[in-house]
Amino acid sequence: MSSILEQLRTRFDRSLVAAFGDDLAGTDPLIVPTNNPKFGDYQANVAMSLAKRLKQKPRDIAQQIIDRLEVSDLCEPPEIAGPGFINLRLKPQFLQSKLQQMYASDRLGVEPVEHPQKVIVDFSSPNIAKEMHVGHLRSTIVGDAIARVLEFQGHDVLRLNHVGDWGTQFGMLITYLREAYPDALTQPDALDIGDLVAFYKKAKVRFDEDAEFQTTARNTVVTLQSGDPETHQAWGLLCEQSRREFQKIYDRLDIKLTERGESFYNDLLPQVVEDLDKQGLLVEDQGAQCVFLEGYKNKEGNPQPLIIQKSDGGYNYATTDLAALRYRIREDGAKRIAYVVDAGQSTHFDQVFQVAKRAGLLPEDVEAVHVPFGLVQGEDGKKFKTRSGETVRLKDLLNEAIDRSRLDLEKRLEEEDRHENADFIEHVATVVGLSAVKYADLSQNRTSNYIFSYDKMLALQGNTAPYLLYAYVRVQGIGRKGNIDFQNLENVSIELRENSEFVLAKHLLSLPDILAEVAADLLPNRLCQYLFELSQKFNQFYDRCSVLQAEEPFRTSRLMLCDLSARTLKQGLSLLGIQVLERM
Ligand code: ARG
């Protein structure tokens, strides 16, 4: 079943062609939901946009469109308003039959896309031997939601974890550990990642202070990259320890990822240099191999180089990304690649994409996009830190969210004089705590910075995970109270009567359009907003309409609306990586 918007667009397309000829086929009719119910449900703004091209007044254009617009099965007769808006009001009969179809569909009326693509989502991507921080958490949560939405749309999604597992940090770390804790380099369990991070800091201090240490560290990188077995083994152990710690976080958050770190591309780096050279892009500058960038100038106003290979033969972060891009397009067959990485790396991606395009590594029919996100800030608006000024460890952050959610729950149980067993409390506290963290992040437009506040994210009111979970639980409560088997409701036809039912119905039916938008713009906050409004509209409906006490056919019809609301919430939340609760 195609969505309401799609149906309207098709009808407009036909009418535009009938009125103004084939030239206008495929013109976007610019249909958007109205923000005031007075004007109906949707408005089409196409008449205004065509005025110049057709050299006619928008209102006249609108008139010619609606004269040929065949929508009598979907809408009341369209009306022209203001300068030339075309207002559309859906017919109750049409809404009811659409809702019936949605109800009967496993996918809630969301059709898989006609042309599935091979999509790569590059997300999370922490650095080995450094602790995963809040920025990586944001990438992990946002990237996972984007991947889930694209998967649900029917795309073939490869989720790649481009971990920083190569490069200079290993030279420092291995050199330092060789003198300080040689066991760590030969025994699998000698360290945990907390130690590793501390060692990394110490190694960095040595590196910055001690010239001899610096030389040894640099040489170690070269030995590592040339495949020396002992250094390679030490490197492997360090990676393994980090990996185990990262995996714990992924498991808790239910994140699936394929690790393909920077080291994977090591052997492919010379090929990049060769490709760039063949295209005549490579220039030697002070011993380094560079590409001069278009549109980037240094302080002196000279063209700025992107260093591909350093004078010592080593490669850079950008070189690895060029190799990765090449591999993802040629070997994986990706048609769309989304890099969910903090906004601070915008320039990096812009430069990499530019060079890749100029070198023919990134063809026209492949879309590579940086999906940037802003900083996570503390409630004081500054960088998110612990009280003592340290970076917050993800483990601690998740634990704290769960602890606070447990306290809230215990308080609520006491107030309501409810008695629940320990398993229930643990389960609810965990789901609510983790959902709250995820949802707080996803519900913000990712491009802005966001303020991390446990109190706000755990609140039962507002645009929060607990509020949405509660709406779902409310429906399950109705089911328990009325002894309703939602899976086997008698199949009556849905009968809408009250205004709040219409409002809820229309909102439910816009799910496919919202998901299409999220898939296009990669903005999960659009889906959050949709689910938040769904919960509000459901609550309004339930406050105003009796359900269990209503007469038939309204009773069953309303139970169907309840069920549809719950299923839509469950599906939508699962696309955000959030699971629902039956009781809370
Ligand atoms: N490891 C990098 C960091 O922590 C992020 C990598 C993002 N992905 C990429 N293909 N560059 O900053």
Q: Does residue 16 sit in the same domain as residue 60?
A: yes
CA of 195 to the centre of ligand 1 (A): 23
Q: Does residue 266 sit in the same domain as residue 134?
A: yes
- Mean pLDDT of the 475-497 span: 92
How many structural domains compose the chain? 3
CB-based contacts of 253: which residues, under 8 Å, 6+ apart? Answer: 140, 141, 144, 398, 434, 438, 577
CB-based contacts of 342: which residues, under 8 Å, 6+ apart? Answer: 135, 138, 139, 372, 373, 374, 375
pLDDT band of residue 184 (cuts 50, 70, 90) is confident
- Mean pLDDT of the 15-32 span: 95
Separation CA 538–CA 561 (nearest Å)? 9
Whether omega before 78 lies within 30 degrees of 0, making that bond cis, reads: no
Other CB atoms within 10 Å distance of the CB of residue 32: 11
pLDDT tens-digit map of 430-458: 999 999 999 999 999 999 998 999 999 99
Separation CA 119–CA 203 (nearest Å)? 39
CA of 176 to the centre of ligand 1 (A): 25
CB-based contacts of 197: which residues, under 8 Å, 6+ apart? Answer: 129, 130, 131
Q: Range with the lowest mean pLDDT among 123-132, 157-166, 204-213?
A: 123-132
pLDDT tens-digit map of 112-148: 999 999 999 999 999 988 778 888 999 999 999 999 9
Separation CA 498–CA 463 (nearest Å)? 26
Minimal-distance CA residue to ligand 1 atom 3: 126
* Ligand 1 proximal residues by C-beta, below 6 Å: 122, 125-127, 162, 164, 321, 324, 339, 341
- Mean pLDDT of the 68-96 span: 96
Q: Does residue 126 sit in the same domain as residue 180?
A: no
Which of 329, 354, 371 corresponds to the end of one domain? 371
pLDDT band of residue 192 (cuts 50, 70, 90) is low
Q: Which of 345, 350, 353, 369 to mutate to test the pocket of ligand 1 (most atoms within 8 A of CB)?
A: 345
pLDDT value of position 24: 93
pLDDT band of residue 23 (cuts 50, 70, 90) is very high
Tell me whether residue 571 is in a domain: no
Which of 51, 74, 90 corresponds to the end of one domain? 90
Q: Does residue 276 sit in the same domain as residue 367?
A: yes
Minimal-distance CA residue to ligand 1 atom 8: 162
Please identify, by atom number, the ligand 1 atom nearest to the C-alpha of residue 164. 1
Nearest to 65 by CA among 301, 56, 460: 56
pLDDT band of residue 384 (cuts 50, 70, 90) is confident
Tell me whether residue 377 is in a domain: no
CB-based contacts of 155: which residues, under 8 Å, 6+ apart? Answer: 113, 116, 117, 118, 119, 519
CA of 194 to the centre of ligand 1 (A): 21
CA of 474 to the centre of ligand 1 (A): 42
439 CB-contact burial (10 Å; exposed 0-12 / middle 13-18 / buried 19+): buried
Separation CA 269–CA 275 (nearest Å)? 10
pLDDT tens-digit map of 494-532: 999 999 999 999 999 999 999 999 999 999 999 999 999
CB 436 within 8 A of CB 397: no
Q: Does residue 188 sit in the same domain as residue 302?
A: no
- Mean pLDDT of the 145-173 span: 94
Please identify, by atom number, the ligand 1 atom nearest to the C-alpha of residue 341. 7
Please identify, by atom number, the ligand 1 atom nearest to the C-alpha of residue 349. 11
Q: Which two tokens stand for residue 492?
A: 């009556």
CB 11 within 8 A of CB 71: yes
Q: Which of 341, 350, 353, 394 to mutate to test the pocket of ligand 1 (most atoms within 8 A of CB)?
A: 341
Q: Does residue 212 sit in the same domain as residue 302?
A: no
CA of 162 to the centre of ligand 1 (A): 6
pLDDT tens-digit map of 230-285: 999 889 988 988 898 899 999 999 999 999 999 999 999 999 999 999 999 999 99
Q: Does residue 215 sit in the same domain as residue 338?
A: no
Q: Does residue 144 sit in the same domain as residue 270?
A: yes
Separation CA 60–CA 198 (nearest Å)? 72
Tell me whether residue 278 is in a domain: yes
Tell me whether residue 102 is in a domain: no
Range of the domain at 151: 118-162+262-371
Dihedral of CA 216/220/226/228: which sign?
positive
Other CB atoms within 10 Å distance of the CB of residue 418: 11
